[in-house]
Chain A
Amino acid sequence: MERNYAKLGEYSTLELMAVCGARAIKNGEVVFVGTGLPMIAAMLAKRTHAPKAKIVYEAGFIDSNAIDIALSIADSRLGYRASAAIGLIETLGLLLQGGHVDVGFVGAAQIDEYGNINTTYIGDFENPTVRLPGSGGGNDIVSSAKRIVIIMTHEKRKMVKKLDYLTSPGFLTGPGAREKAGLLGGGPSLVVTNLCQMDFDPETKRIRLATIHPGVTLQQIMENTGFDLIIPERVPTTEPPTYEELAILRAIDPHGIYIPRPAQTQQ
């Protein structure tokens, strides 16, 4: 089937990010998500190419079929037509640590070149500038899911050489480090930002540019990255959203709670 792509200016950056997230989910996979863009991405995936994906929220909602946007991962909205509503030991312990989760979505305030994540402190631990929400289930998910998708904004202060605090384990110090630490999961596989998508070099486990979003330049990406990014010789442009994906996205979040409608954005 021919894909009918939207043109630059017909979609917002957040919409493109949600579409990238959705495409990272395969049909039939067990997906662990939080609220915000990951939830929208998972809902989009279920309504397009991955209707058999099972969405799990750590508060205890399993195989959720929510039709309304939730503010909290414990939001009753996520209970709509779920297969079960249990608790944290079930989701993070038995399902996740037990090895049943294919892909986990997380956000990050900072990441480094090995995909290690900070969601706890900005500044020095003894005298921090900002205290962030903390791990929640983030560390559990990144420790034990088979693969991880990180969704975040691309800024120099967020893509750093050294984290202020290591909350969730990427590839730690490089090849073999996760295994040596005793971690079960496969680690980060994709980083989706407002500028590009990045994956991880299989040899060095360092972060690598994968696709550049339409209208974004390589220089913009370099200027907004604080660590040495591996740049392959050929970097394709990110596949834009299709009109179908956009229509579904806008129906999922009609009031623009997580994705303000293009008319409401600056673009």
Chain B
Amino acid sequence: MGCLCLVEAPVEDKRITLKEAAKLIPDGAHVFWGGFGFQRPPMAFAHELVRQKKRNLTIYTCGSEMDIDILAGAYVASRFELAFFAIEGIGLAPNIQRRIREGAVQIEDYTNLAMALRFLGGALGVPFMPLKSMLGTDLLTKKRFREKKAEVITCPFTGEKVVLVPSVRPDFSIVHVSRVDREGNAQIDGIKGEDVEGARAGKKVIVLAEEIVDTEFIRSQPDQTAIPNIYVDYVVECPWGSYPMMVYNYYDYDLEHIRMYYQQCKTEEGWQKYCEEYITGVEDHMEFLKKIGFERLLGLRAKKPFPY
């Protein structure tokens, strides 16, 4: 048994509000964007960036959907380095399509593994990462705005061909997780996508969570911590923060709302109407949830033993 007279430091409180968190992001910032596909996108944070009229962000992600479509639609983000975007199972991302045609958005294409490794490289503090994808394809040779996108080298040890991709060290990392304590120790239920690496790559890290839990809860099961507090600068309590997408063990997606968004945003007028009604026309995230209706939200709650 160890010495029992250890005095633990008081619990640091990194909590700020969603509004305060979004205010930290300056125009033109480079941002790692967490969540994967329909799982745990920082949707509420996207809404708040739109309300605060942020501009010219560069977004780094693997595969994102309605969340980054909103960032493109509202001219918050002008550049993306990513592997995939769409409204999966429904269609192409309507706003990004339109903004690309206008010339307001540019996309630098990588693969999911390449992007995930770029975040791991940034987190490791090395300038590039090697991989065996992209070889022989236009992903290597065609580029939009990066001066150098990827490079094929001959391995100095084995002589085989390897692709090098540049590491990413963004100004901010934004992740939405299951639960976090006020010091920033975060647990993620279900798949982690590229959030484990992405959260460690950012110079400043903002963790949004479905719920804030007592630090004792985290410390009684430290093996469940996906992001330790050392990496985390700010914590935001943000229930239903991925709605209308999903959070594992918390809630399912609202397919009706996603389909409505997709249909409506096929035209600029439709998107403007959506944005006004659900984003800029409401005061904050809580007002947005009220507008959706709590009865509707409760109907989406995960039904045990299913995580959805």
Contacts and interface: CB of A to CB of B under 8 A. Distances in A.
Interface residues of B, number: 62
A162 B220 CA distance: 59
A73 interface: yes
A239 B63 CA distance: 37
A140 interface: yes
Q: Is the interface of A mostly helix, strand, loop or mixed?
A: loop
A119 B21 CA distance: 36
Given A59-B36, A128-B100, A136-B112, 13 more contacts: A59-B193, A74-B36, A85-B192, A89-B196, A97-B132, A131-B97, A135-B83, A139-B111, A140-B112, A140-B114, A167-B138, A167-B139, A181-B136
Contacts of B97: 130-131
A181 B112 contact: no
Given A136-B111, A143-B132, A80 B255 contact: no
Interface stretch (B88-96, B165-173, B202-210, B275-283): B88-96
Given A36-B89, A133-B85, A182-B132, A88 B38 contact: no
Given A88-B36, A93-B116, A169 B137 contact: yes
A76 interface: yes
Interface in A36-95: 36, 58-61, 68, 71-77, 79-80, 85-89, 92-93
B197 interface: yes
A68 B190 CA distance: 16
Interface in A164-204: 165-169, 172, 177-178, 181-184
A144 interface: yes
Contacts of A138: 111
Interface string A13-48: 000000000000000000000011000000000000
Contacts, number: 192
Nearest to A168: B137
B193 A88 contact: yes
Contacts of B244: none
Given A80-B307, A139-B139, A72 B113 contact: no
Given A74-B37, A79-B248, A79-B307, A88 B89 contact: no
A87 B192 contact: yes
Contacts of A36: 89
Given A72-B88, A182-B161, A58 B112 contact: yes
A262 interface: no
B132 A144 contact: yes
B84 interface: yes
B191 to A, nearest CB: 3
Interface of B: 36-39, 62-63, 65, 82-86, 88-90, 92-93, 96-97, 100, 107, 109-114, 116-117, 120, 131-139, 142, 152, 160-162, 190-197, 246, 248-249, 252-253, 255, 302, 306-308
16 contacts: A36-B89, A71-B89, A71-B253, A72-B253, A74-B191, A75-B39, A75-B246, A76-B246, A79-B248, A85-B192, A128-B100, A133-B92, A133-B93, A167-B139, A172-B136, A182-B136
Given A58-B112, A97-B133, A87 B195 contact: yes
Given A80-B306, A135-B139, A144-B132, A72 B89 contact: yes
B135 A183 contact: yes
A183 B162 CA distance: 9
Nearest to B249: A76
Contacts of A72: 37-39, 65, 88-89, 253
Interface in A152-172: 165-169, 172
Contacts of A140: 111-114, 133
Contacts of B142: 125, 165
A132 interface: yes
Given A79-B248, A131-B96, A59 B37 contact: yes
**Would you list the 8 A-B pairs with minimal beta carbon distance, nearest first?**
A182-B161, A60-B191, A74-B37, A136-B84, A181-B136, A71-B89, A74-B39, A72-B38
Contacts of B83: 134-137
A12 interface: no
Interface centre among A68, A74, A96 (most CB of B within 10 A): A74
A135 B134 CA distance: 10
A183 B160 CA distance: 9
A135 B246 CA distance: 23
Contact of B134 (A93, A143, A257): A143
